[in-house]
Amino acid sequence: MYVEIVECVRERNCTAELYRRELEEVKRLDRKRALADLVASINSIRGRAETFYHIVRRELYTKLGVFTTPAGSLIIECGGKGDRYCDLCSALVPASLRGGMCYIPSTILNEDVFLGLPLDYEPPQKHFGEFIAPAPMNIVAYDIDSYEAADALEALASWMSRVSAFEGMEIGRLEVGVKYVHGYGYFSEPPDLLIYTLDGTTVGIVYVDVRETVHMGFSRGKRLLMEGVEQVYVVHPYVDRRFHSDVASRIGNRWDISDLGYVTVDVSGGRITVHKQAYQNRYVRSSDAVRRKSAVLKESLRKA
């Protein structure tokens, strides 16, 4: 399966159906076996644990192409044998290096597997200084273009419903334009997309067409965090890389909204770009009122 994914990324023509097949294969894989295989090669990667950590955390600063798949796998364009990233990939996942494209399956990147590794190092402490947006993570979405879609949001919703996964999370329910959830009530700031994953995570998406307004969606995103949604993404249509890098940095440098994720959708170019990953909503941890809202929302969506 990894060969097909690598080739479609190389050719920039990955389809929702192919990603869906990868997701089904990932669900069948044995994570314990993946851990055992990785531990077996631990001696060859022990000295590069720091690099491994940064790749896992998607904080890789590089001019090379960095791609992800909806199932959570990682693909890095590297320079071939002798390149530090290519060599690391070969050590982590033997036989998964193909023509300068390194494929690391989500079983290896799974947090439970990663935390179970006997690596002799202390993970870097979270940096509280200026946030600089890391290299964006691209998802090739060849068939995201829909002539029937009214805008990038509608095209994204249609594509996500076919893939049934986003950022390593399998989608259980996907609601468009939801304003009311039975048992929870009305949203004061309705999400444009509301996702309930199979592992019980709530994800909200706020869409703003920045080509037509000066608003960025920050205030809407914050209000959705206060509604108790566990992960919130602001989504813009693609404008240009410098603009979006600046937006991601602005989000990261504002304490009150730094948990927001930031994604752009290039419908005509067939690419979704994750400029900043969403963090778990801090308000759920720090506010009793938000925590209660979050618990009611999860339970209401679970029963629906």
Helix (H, G, I), strand (E, B) or coil at 62: coil
- Domains contained in the chain, number: 2
Whether residues 168 and 86 share a domain: the answer is: no
Whether residues 205 and 280 share a domain: the answer is: yes
Whether residues 286 and 159 share a domain: the answer is: yes
- Residue 274 carries which DSSP code? E
Q: Is the pTM value of this prediction over 0.95?
A: no
Q: Distance between CA 221 and CA 26 in Å, rounded?
A: 31
**Tokens representing residue 219 in the block:** 């205030």
Whether residues 70 and 197 share a domain: the answer is: no
> 165: which strand partners?
170
**Domain that residue 151 falls in:** 140-303
From residue 129, how far is each of 132, 253, 255, 259, 300 by CA, in Å?
Answer: 9, 8, 11, 15, 38
* Predicted pLDDT at 135: 76
Q: Return the biggest CA–CA distance within the chain.
A: 57
Tens digit of pLDDT for each residue in 216-250? 999 999 999 999 999 999 999 999 989 999 999 99
Residue 84 neighbours by CB under 8 Å, 6+ apart = 48, 51, 78
**Mean pLDDT, residues 129-145:** 81
- Given 100, 115, 130, the domain boundary residue is 115
Q: Domain for residue 266, yes or no?
A: yes
Whether residues 50 and 145 share a domain: the answer is: no
Percent share of the chain, pLDDT over 70: 75
Whether residues 168 and 254 share a domain: the answer is: yes
- Given 115, 149, 178, the domain boundary residue is 115
Tens digit of pLDDT for each residue in 46-57? 545 555 656 655
Q: Distance between CA 182 and CA 95 in Å, rounded?
A: 49
Whether residues 158 and 290 share a domain: the answer is: yes
**Mean pLDDT, residues 165-169:** 90
C-alpha angle with apex 146: 145 to 147, nearest 5 degrees? 120
Q: Domain for residue 127, yes or no?
A: no
Q: Domain for residue 235, yes or no?
A: yes
* Predicted pLDDT at 222: 96
Whether residues 147 and 268 share a domain: the answer is: yes
State the DSSP string of 115-160: HTS---SPPPPPP-S-----PPEEEE-GGG--TT-SSHHHHHHHHH
Whether residues 109 and 187 share a domain: the answer is: no
Whether residues 153 and 46 share a domain: the answer is: no
Instruction: Name the band, by pLDDT with cuts 50, 70 and 90, for residue 125.
Output: very low
Q: Domain for residue 134, yes or no?
A: no
Q: Domain for residue 129, yes or no?
A: no
Q: Domain for residue 131, yes or no?
A: no
Whether residues 213 and 288 share a domain: the answer is: yes
